[in-house]
A = this chain, B = another copy of it.
């Protein structure tokens, strides 16, 4: 129920794929889960310590290195499944772009256009990352049974990015019309 369980879920999940050091967890969570998840890195070590205390993960003394990787235990896998089975709790939305557009009449069409353009670029970049992720998952063996599920999340990212691009194009057209009509009566920047 508490939010911190969610951090545990992400960490246990990552370790269920392969054992890792805390540092590697940072990287993996940022690079792989980053499209839809974020952990505050200040939390990773405390959570890891708690998981170790509960016997859900354990340090594996590696032979070829001094750094200790963390591996998930059987109890950890059980706990992970419990956590995953809990209903996902959506975070409260806080979309700064939408807030700005909603009060866009205070900002004016040009500034709004700029914001939408930026959003479009970000969506385009996200789409490219998703396509890269898709090929990466396809090429990487060792995810055999996980791959179809991971591709589900990649697909969600693609749909969402494409929708954002389509919306942005519409919005840009609408804003262009607004610019045209709003400058017409005042004939060049005058006040009504």
Contacts and interface: CB of A to CB of B under 8 A. Distances in A.
A91 B99 CA distance: 13
A62 interface: no
Contacts of A104: 146, 149, 152
A162 interface: yes
B171 A102 contact: no
Contacts of A100: 84, 88
B92 A38 contact: yes
Contact of A95 (B37, B106, B174): B37
Contact of A106 (B13, B34, B96): B13
Interface string A6-34: 10011001001000000000000000011
A88 B93 contact: no
Contact of A167 (B40, B115, B156): B156
| Contact residues on A (Cβ < 8 Å of other chain), bracket | 35 or more
A159 B152 contact: no
Given A94-B37, A163-B160, A85 B111 contact: yes
Given A105-B145, A163-B160, A178-B148, A93 B155 contact: no
A118 B90 CA distance: 12
Given A150-B102, A152-B174, A81 B107 contact: yes
A6 B38 contact: no
A23 to B, nearest CB: 20
A170 interface: yes
Nearest to A12: B103
B85 A36 contact: no
A47 interface: no
16 contacts: A6-B96, A6-B99, A33-B99, A35-B98, A36-B94, A37-B93, A88-B95, A88-B96, A88-B100, A89-B96, A101-B153, A101-B156, A103-B146, A116-B152, A151-B174, A159-B163
